Copies of this chain bind each other. A is one copy, B any other.
Amino acid sequence: MTEQKATNITWHDGDVTRADRNKLLGQKGATIWFTGLSGSGKSTVAVALEQALFARNKLVYRLDGDNVRHGINKNLGFSAEDRAENIRRIGEIAKLFVDAGVIALSSFVSPYRTDRDLVRAMHAESDMDFIEVYVDVPLAVAEERDPKGLYKKARAGEIPNFTGISDPYEAPETPELVLKSHEMSLEEEVDAVIALLQQRGILPA
């Protein structure tokens, strides 16, 4: 046991750090947090950004309803308390990815300012980049798109507390970026995010 303890000390000296992982990956881990109405185009731009970054050999991972709501957060419903806990957990998971050196993309409606500000604050605490991207389209545009038929159901009263219809969407006051997906091409949206990531040193210029 004495031998092992001595060995431990040697090994522990060289703990792998966040900076080491960033260097290995040639990028800086960061959270890109897309927020906006259902149908605003958050997932569309997140998917396109993921592809554009991966094409540059960057490691990027997308957190969305498919892998979060059906996995770690499957024990959460849609009460006010559960919605807040949903966003808190996503924020904490994003931080773990940032620590691992990964560029984490989050695309959830995340309608409440308090919840998003909590996630921003937890990143700041750990000196991590949090890029809030407001995908800003008028409600009428999102409702006309209605890709999942949710607005129709909400209008029919079949979905209670639906953001934009029967529950508020609190727009970010000072997001890092605003994307008006009804006035921009997808390429323009992706280019705008990438330019910002380069400015911030998250991607090499």
Contacts and interface: CB of A to CB of B under 8 A. Distances in A.
Interface of A: 1, 3-4, 7-8, 11-12, 14-16, 20-21, 24-25, 41, 44, 47-48, 50-51, 54, 57, 59-61, 63, 67, 71-72, 75, 85, 89, 92-93, 95-97, 99-102, 122, 141, 144-145, 181-182, 185-187
Contact of A47 (B11, B20, B51): B11
Given A24-B59, A61-B99, A96-B67, A4 B72 contact: no
B50 A99 contact: no
Contacts of A54: 16, 20-21, 24
A180 to B, nearest CB: 11
A16 B51 contact: yes
B47 A1 contact: no
Given A15-B47, A59-B100, 17 more contacts: A4-B41, A4-B185, A11-B47, A11-B186, A12-B47, A14-B51, A24-B54, A61-B100, A63-B96, A67-B96, A72-B92, A72-B96, A93-B96, A97-B100, A100-B100, A100-B102, A102-B102
